[in-house]
Amino acid sequence: MKVSVIIPTYNRPAYLEKCIESLLKQRKAPDEIIVIVRLSDTASYKILEKYQARAHASLPIKLIEIARPGIVYAENRGLKAAMGDIVCFMDDDATAPENWIADIVRHYERDPSIGGVGGPVITIINNNPVNLVISSRMTWFGKRIAGNTKMPADIREVDLLNGCNMSFRRSLLTGFDEYLLPYWRRFEDDACLSVKERGYKIIYDPALTVQHFDAAIHEGMRIDKTPETIIGLHHNSIYIKLKHLKGLSKIIALFYEFIWGDITTPGFFQILGYGVKHRTWSSFPELAYAMVGKVKGIITYMHYNLHAPSLLKREGMRVSFCTCWRLEKDGIADYSGHMVDALKKRGLEIDVIELRPYLGERAYYRKVAHEASAADIAHIQFNYLYFNGTLPYRNTFLYFARHLKSPAVMTVHEVYIGYKPPISGFSNPVNKVIFNNTLFLWNALSRDFHRRMYNIVDKVIVHTRCQAELILPLLEKAGKLTVIPHAIPAVKEEDMDIASSEAKRRLCLDGRTVLTVFGFIKQQKGYETVLDAIAGLPDNVVFLIAGGLMSENPDHREYFDKLTGQISARGLSDRVRITGYLRADEIPSVMAATDIALAPFSTISGSGSLSLTIAYHKPIIASDIPVHREINERVPCLELFNPGNPAELRSAIKRVLGDIGRINALSAASREYSSRFSYGNIAGMTARLYEEVIQAHRGR
């Protein structure tokens, strides 16, 4: 996982230097340190120039210049520039222990359901610890529990983190809310609650202790008992509670805030009682400013509800997800299940509109189009089978799309524009002859059908540039098309921990070196190249075909029989194993038994089987085709060989098997790819596309 550390600063060069030095001493170095500096802050510039003069790949310090004051704006500028999978936030007058980043990353790697991690903050004044601030819980009506108290000794789940010692998965942060006033923190409360609303956990680890030193107070950065900061504190507190609490809890929170309040945001009777008890009039101006701030917070919340620029900030954005659902032997159905879960974690309301394969009844598609139209947007997972096949006169997609009343995006999982002879699969031989001799007509019809299909929706999503290049010439507007990579599923920790020796024993492959091609058996998978390659490898190397037929389609059955015949004819029956269709609970053992995964494909669009192999962090040898090169451009996790060349494949297998360093490097790269293109991250890209489409419709 890559880590970005974000530090806003203003005119505190000595503290800033101590902060950066603590980051440079980390056991796991950050991948980048982003410092946000005001243009007028010449003292900080001098410190940063010193570090940038030393900067190389091992010392990545990025400088962001701003003219506008305010912590929220500064953090957002840093967040926008961050490239890491994890973003950590520190104050410029704080220092971190040397295991800070390593321990933070460990939490995220251990549990994909963790969205935020932080720890306690010890305030140091005159070299003496004077205050301990720990992370907080929030009650159902918005009262903050804990904050300044004895440090708990255990790792625990919390609701809120401290702004100078917190981290999040980058994919979960679209930006800090700039409705918040800049003269008090609480931006971190809003971020934490937003992450929790998406179904992720916030973790407090007492080992992640940051020291926070006494520093000068500057506008927009730290508390000061001025009218602006008092108003800002109370404004932000009540605005955040109204934004995140539900139903009756909002009303109770309003009464509590105004009448009593928390220690840091006291209400009417707390402030009044303080003045009476201490016989001082000094608390009464504070009472007035506090009430002004609370009222302003309510007004901001009302304005936010009416005019928030991001539709994703609304409660209950609703999506109709049109797909086959929980269908066995269907990779797109599996993809849909993962994607729906990830979108729900981002706070979206998902209605699954179930499609059925090979159904030609138009009344059914009219009914499901009507159901899908009830949402803010429809997202269609396109597979030809879901709309009655590839033949233009039979396919029902255009009929379905014309009956949709909501904006629509479609993810195109397969692109088959036109036909290549000879076409088999006809039960009637006369129809087969006629079709194959009129292909020019069918190709023209297919092209026209695809042109109309892609242009009838608002956005078309594909997984690869190869798919995009096929579709782009058919689009009226190139901006309609977007490439979002195929997501990588999260694998349970217990499934990753199965011992290879135990898995091989279960499969009766003890002592063997296992090469695996995973997924449904299809002709384009390149099995013949592997059969030729293993003939020149040691006898203990076996080829595992981990999958079975997707269907009893005549073409599929014909190829399967041909493949098994080749295995037998080459005398490889004892070195080649076909598992047949694998249930979900059987996949972890097959992956654990695999020494090297192979992807010798001749063509591919966006393989779910390859994505699953990456998810298990296997070393992978793949054919050098455009889609595999595209994956390697993102993260170089594939060892490539010339497609269809058994000698090159054999050499690549020997090279990788003989180099443990290369095996570890490929596995680490697969781990990085899994993190960067997780379903959570891909759901974030998809959700932003929904927002764009809905905003465009509302602007018409």
| 209-263 pLDDT per residue, tens | 999 886 644 433 444 567 888 888 888 888 888 888 888 888 898 888 888 877 6
Please determine, for residue 202, whether its predicted confidence score (pLDDT) is greater than 50. Answer: yes
* pLDDT at position 68: 76
Beta carbons of 213 and 127 less than 8 angstroms apart: no
pLDDT category of residue 124 using cuts at 50, 70 and 90 = confident
Q: How many CB atoms lie within 10 A of CB 36?
A: 25
Question: Per-residue pLDDT tens for 626-678?
Answer: 999 999 998 999 999 999 999 999 999 999 999 999 999 999 999 999 988 99
Contact 615, 491 (CB under 8 A): yes
Q: From CA 207, how far away is CA 163, in angstroms rounded?
A: 17
CA atoms within 13 A on the CB side of 528: 14
| pLDDT mean over 541-569 | 90
Residue 519 lies inside a defined structural domain of this protein: yes
Instruction: Report pLDDT for 611.
Output: 93
Q: What is the mean pLDDT of residues 463-470?
A: 90
Q: How far apart are CA 203 and CA 113, in angstroms?
A: 10
- Please report how the helices 660-676 and 646-657 are oriented relative to each other, as an axis angle in degrees rounded to 10: 100
Asked whether 372 and 410 are in contact (CB, 8 A), the reply is: no
Q: What is the dihedral of CA 454, 460, 461, 464, to 10 degrees?
A: 50
**Domain match, 142 and 42 both:** yes
Dihedral sign computed on CA atoms, order 260, 264, 265, 271: positive
How far is residue 210 from each of residues 95, 103, 124, 132, measured CA to CA in Å?
6, 13, 10, 10
pLDDT mean across residues, the chain: 86
Structural domain contains residue 157 = yes
- Cα 259 to Cα 11: distance, rounded to the nearest angstrom: 39
CATH of the domain at 503: 3.40.50.2000
Phi and psi at residue 87, to the nearest 5°: -115, 125
Number of C-beta neighbours around residue 597 at 10 A? 27
Between residues 232 and 102, which one has the greater pLDDT?
102
Mean pLDDT for the stretch of residues 547-561: 84
Residues 428 and 552 both lie in one domain: no
Residue 309: what pLDDT?
44
- Same domain? 188 vs 237: no
pLDDT at 314: 42
**Burial bucket for residue 272 (CB in 10 Å: 0-12, 13-18, 19+):** middle
Q: Are 549 and 557 in contact (CB under 8 A)?
A: yes
Helices of type H across 178-226:
187-197
**Stretch 412-434: mean pLDDT, rounded?**
72
Residues 509, 657, single domain; the answer is yes
**pTM, 2 dp:** 0.59
Cis amide linkage into residue 421, ω under 30° from 0: no
Range of the domain at 123: 3-222
Report which DSSP code applies to 605.
Answer: S
Is 79 inside a domain boundary? yes
For residues 8-29, give the mean pLDDT: 91
User: pLDDT tens digit string along 258-277?
Assistant: 888 776 778 777 777 766 77
Identify the domain boundary among 188, 207, 222.
222
pLDDT at res. 699: 58
Cβ-contact 19, 92 below 8 angstroms: yes
- The residue ranking higher by pLDDT, 397 or 359, is 397
Dump pLDDT digits (tens) for 310-350: 444 444 578 999 999 888 788 899 999 999 999 988 878 89
Distance of CA 313 to CAs 308, 406, 510, 552, Å?
Answer: 7, 20, 54, 47
Query: H or E element: which one contains 689?
Result: helix 679-698
Q: Give residue 67's pLDDT.
A: 76
Whole-number percent of the chain with pLDDT over 70: 89
Q: Which residues of 642-669 are buried (b: 16+ CB within 10 A; e: fewer)?
A: ebebbebbbebbeebbeeeeebebbbeb
In degrees, rounded to 5, the angle at the alpha carbon of residue 291 between the alpha carbons of residues 285 and 295 is: 145
* Rounded-to-integer distance, Cα 519 and Cα 597, Å: 11
CA count, 13 A, side-chain hemisphere, 645: 15
Structure tokens at 512: 């063997």
Closest CA to 237 of 200, 167, 194, 290: 290
8-state DSSP, 523: G
Residue type present at position 186 = R
Residues 367 and 410 in one domain: yes
Which pLDDT score, from 0 to 100, does residue 293 have? 84
For residue 219, the model assigns a pLDDT of: 38
Which of 282, 309, 336 corresponds to the end of one domain? 309
Find, among 329, 140, 117, the residue nearest to 252 by Cα. 140
Decide which of 378 and 200 is more confident: 378
Separation between Cα atoms, residue 646 and residue 549, nearest integer Å:
24
Q: Is 172 part of any domain?
A: yes
Least confident among 14-23, 233-242, 531-540: 233-242
The answer to whether residue 435 scores a pLDDT higher than 70 is no
What pLDDT is stored for residue 280 in this prediction?
65
Domain tally, the chain: 4
CA 590 – CA 544 distance, rounded (Å): 9
Within a domain: residue 685? no
- What residues pair up with 122 in beta bridges, in sequence order? 132, 211
| Count of C-beta atoms within a 10 Å radius of residue 138 | 21
Question: Is 590 within the bounds of a domain?
Answer: yes
- Report how far residue 661's alpha carbon sits from residue 298's, in angstroms, rounded to the nearest whole number: 59
Q: In the chain, what's the furthest Cα-to-Cα distance?
A: 104
CATH number where 173 lies: 3.90.550.10
The secondary structure of 22-68 as a DSSP string is HHHT-SS--SEEEEEEETT-HHHHHHHHHHHHH-STTS-EEEEEE-S
Asked whether residue 466 falls in the same domain as residue 578, the answer is no
Looking at the domain assignment, is residue 115 inside a domain?
yes
Rounded to 5 degrees, what are φ and ψ at 308?
-55, 130
- DSSP assignment of 530-594: HHHHHTTS-TTEEEEEE---S---HHHHHHHHHHHHHHHHTT-TTTEEE--SPPGGGHHHHHHH-
469 plus 578 within the same structural domain: no
Quick one: pLDDT band at residue 105, thresholds 50, 70, 90?
A: very high
Determine the Cα–Cα distance for residues 85 and 328; give it in Å rounded to an integer. Answer: 33
Q: Give 184 or 417, the one with higher predicted confidence.
A: 417
pLDDT of residue 220: 38
* Final residue in a domain of this structure, among 483, 514, 537: 483
Residue 306 has pLDDT above 70, yes or no: no
What are the pLDDT digits (tens) for 152-178? Answer: 668 889 999 988 899 999 888 878 887
Q: In terms of domains, do 53 and 9 share one?
A: yes
What the block records as the tokens of 85 is 């999978």
Q: Please list, residue by residue across 315-339, b when 16 or more beta carbons sit within 10 angstroms of its beta carbon and e when fewer do.
A: eebebbbbbbbebeebbbbbbbbbb
Shared domain for 11 and 96, answered yes or no, is: yes
Query: Is residue 374's pLDDT more than 80?
Result: yes
Considering the domain architecture, whether residues 556 and 506 belong to the same structural domain is answered as yes
Q: Give the pLDDT confidence score for residue 168 in this predicted structure.
A: 95
Amino acid 30: pLDDT: 93
Note whether residue 691 is domain-resident.
Answer: no
- What is the Cα–Cα distance from 176 to 310, expressed in whole angstroms? 12
Mean pLDDT across the stretch 473-501?
Answer: 92
Q: Given the DSSP bridges, would you call strands 114-118 and 165-169 parallel, antiparallel or unpaired?
A: antiparallel
Residue 7, Cβ density class (10 Å: 0-12 exposed, 13-18 middle, ≥19 buried): buried
Assess whether 373 and 430 both reside in one domain.
yes
Distances (CA, A) of 72 to 119, 197, 238, 517: 21, 21, 17, 49
Question: Quick one: 199 and 64 in the same domain?
Answer: yes
**Which run of H or E residues covers position 460?**
strand 459-462
